Amino acid sequence: MPGTSGPGARNLTTGLATAYLDSSPVVAITGQVSTSLLGRDGFQEADMHGVSMPITKHNYLVTDVASCHRCSGAFYIARTGRPGPFWLTSARMLSRRKSKSITRRPSACLAINRPLRAADPVSVERAAHLLNLAERPMIIAGHGAIIARAEAELRQLVEKANIPVSTSLLGVGAIPQTHPLSVGWGGMHGEAYTNYGFARDGRVAGGWSQA
């Protein structure tokens, strides 16, 4: 996903924020003003490195062609663990430069991406304890269940504990809609009866998203 500096880069923020919330892998490459003009409010300069921090898994501002190797793991980071967007901003003129100092070595930014390979036993035990204490338990299965390919484990859990299960919009498919314990998906665009399933004191519980 390429973009120019200034307005071109700013127009990408909505799409990348959505990708971040929806756990969708995206790699965005945008331009920036020359390194000599950075921080001087030059024409079409915008601090996209700072702006994109809350809506990306990782971002990197390249100001030296010799440091381009740091972004060699962009696609790996975007796709592994919880998928999400990686934003690379390149200062102007770097595309016209050549360097013999670039070496083929593992990206330095790969160290930040260490996805969990197994569930944390302490968290699992705590979740089980809370389920046992709940008077009217209900499960919301989100996109993570799809990404982790945990559909079978989810079905085994709800059937063993006899717990109704809803899904977020991106979690649709984590459990068959025809399953007796499935109550569909809720949220702003979901079913009213599903939202009432989360009601407290006769009022529909609000605030949970469909991501």
Mean pLDDT by 10 residues, the chain (211 residues): 64 88 87 59 68 85 65 81 84 55 50 65 89 88 88 92 90 90 86 80 44 34
Cβ–Cβ under 8 Å, residues 168 and 143: yes
132-157: burial string, b at 16+ Cβ within 10 Å, e else: eeeeeebbbbbbebbeeebeeebbeb
Comparing CA positions, the residue from 26, 45, 34 lying closest to residue 87 is 26
Length of the chain: 211
Distance, CA of 142 to CA of 145 (rounded, Å): 6
In the prediction, which pLDDT does 182 show? 92
In the prediction, which pLDDT does 42 show? 58
Q: Domains in the chain and their CATH numbers?
A: 2-112 (3.40.50.970), 121-196 (3.40.50.1220)
In the prediction, which pLDDT does 166 show? 92
Q: What is the token pair recorded at 210? A: 């469909």
In the prediction, which pLDDT does 180 show? 92
